[in-house]
Amino acid sequence: MAGLTLLGEYGSDSSESENSECENSLKRPLTAASCASSELEPGSKIMKLPLPSVLFGPLEIPQDVQDDPNLHQGRIRSFPHVKGNWATYVYVSGLEGTLSDIELLQHDLQMVCAELPIKLEQIEDPHLSLSRVVTIKYDWIQPLMSSLKRSLAPFPRFKIKFMDIYILLNEEKTRTFICLGLDQSDRILRDLVSVIDANLAEFDLPAFYAQPKFHISLLWALGDQTLAFKARLPALRATFISWLDTLPSKDVQVSQLKSKSGNKIFMFPLGTS
């Protein structure tokens, strides 16, 4: 309050007498006559400048953003929303020509579980995650993205192969996923994760899972539904195999990675150096 007290004393009688010459020159309207003389005319009155009203009102303390799961299909944040922090992750998206096929698989798998008393939602943008979702400051976005682009450019384009159906539960045990499993023996995915982790470590951000199970999430449901979905796993796998037989190729070309930070999307072409 000492700072506010000092500000409140600006323009008081004591300061007025000590700094009258400064006030006369600063507060007197600038006219041709005033320019010719530095003295005030007899009977003239000095007008005090009002202090900003914010100095006398209550201090406004920013309120925490209250997360309402009802606005997000019941989903709960993995970490609290903090103003100025941007959720960020690295991934493979689009899957170059197979998105319409994956949407068909989503529908067919959803039909397999239609009799369960569980509401299944489709993932709107199926993708392969290569990092955790981390939060970064706005000022970190460009340095991190530039670093990732340099580090990922030497990697060649590669292919991913669809292998199985997985049932996975998130760390918070708030959502269960039906996923398209990928070939886990492909070394390039682990090498990519290692390079991405090294870049994130420069900003003190957490690494990916120690033993990642590479997958593309297709459907999700609230809560721990692993037992119910695993009971349907034979039918889910049969549906996957039938779908796989319709594809012209069992693997998909990947020519770029992406990173999403808030509402910004950055692209990292592969094999460019």
Residues 196, 148 contacting (CB under 8 angstroms): yes
Is 107 annotated as catalytic? Answer: no
For Cα atoms 141, 144, 146, give the angle at the middle one, nearest 5 degrees: 105
Q: Residue type at 209?
A: Y
Residues 205, 138 contacting (CB under 8 angstroms): no
Round to whole Å and give the CA distance between 151 and 147.
Answer: 6
3-state secondary structure of 86: strand
Place of tokens 């209550």: 58
3-state secondary structure of 91: strand
Angle between helices 187-201 and 138-152 (to 10 degrees): 140
Round to whole Å and give the CA distance between 175 and 167.
Answer: 11
Residues 190, 223 contacting (CB under 8 angstroms): no
- Beta-carbon contacts of 106 under 8 Å, excluding residues fewer than 6 positions away, are 122, 123, 126, 218, 219
DSSP state of 46: P
Backbone angles phi, psi at 195, to 5 degrees: -70, -40
Round to whole Å and give the CA distance between 268 and 152.
Answer: 7
Backbone angles phi, psi at 2, to 5 degrees: -60, -40
Is 81 annotated as catalytic? Answer: no
User: Looking at the annotation, which residues are catalytic?
Assistant: 127, 215
